[in-house]
């Protein structure tokens, strides 16, 4: 949604617990179309990802550096 500030945004998950609602602003958001629309259905996501390219100017892929913690 970085590249489309006009896209309607909504909560990533529809959760109503009080402790979650108090922190909902910290959660990631979902959009209303394309790769930003979260269906929470593996079958639908798999079909969508297999059926077309996973290219979106708003998506940025990078590697994560792991940190070793002393035990």
Per-residue model confidence (pLDDT) at position 3: 63
Residue with tokens 């969508």, as numbered in its chain: 48
Q: What does the alpha-carbon distance between residue 36 and residue 56 come to, in Å, rounded to a whole number?
A: 10
Q: Which two tokens stand for residue 67?
A: 């940190």
pLDDT at 2 over 60: no
Q: What is the pLDDT of residue 11?
A: 77
Question: Which structure tokens are listed for 61?
Answer: 């892929």
Structure tokens at 65: 């550096």
Could you give the maximum distance between any two Cα atoms of the chain, in Å? 47
CB 3 within 8 A of CB 59: no
Q: What is the pLDDT of residue 1?
A: 44
- Calculate mean pLDDT across residues 27-36: 77
Pick the more confident residue, 56 or 64: 64
- pLDDT category, 20, cuts 50, 70, 90? confident
Q: How many angstroms separate the CA atoms of 11 and 22, rounded? A: 13
């Amino acid at each position: 949604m970085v590249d489309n500030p006009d896209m309607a945004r909504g909560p990533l998950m529809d959760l109503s617990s009080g402790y979650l609602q108090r922190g909902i602003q910290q959660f990631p958001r979902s959009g209303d179309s394309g790769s930003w629309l979260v269906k929470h259905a593996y079958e639908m996501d798999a079909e969508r990802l297999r059926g077309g390219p996973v290219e979106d100017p708003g998506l940025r892929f990078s590697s994560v550096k792991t940190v070793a913690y002393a035990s």
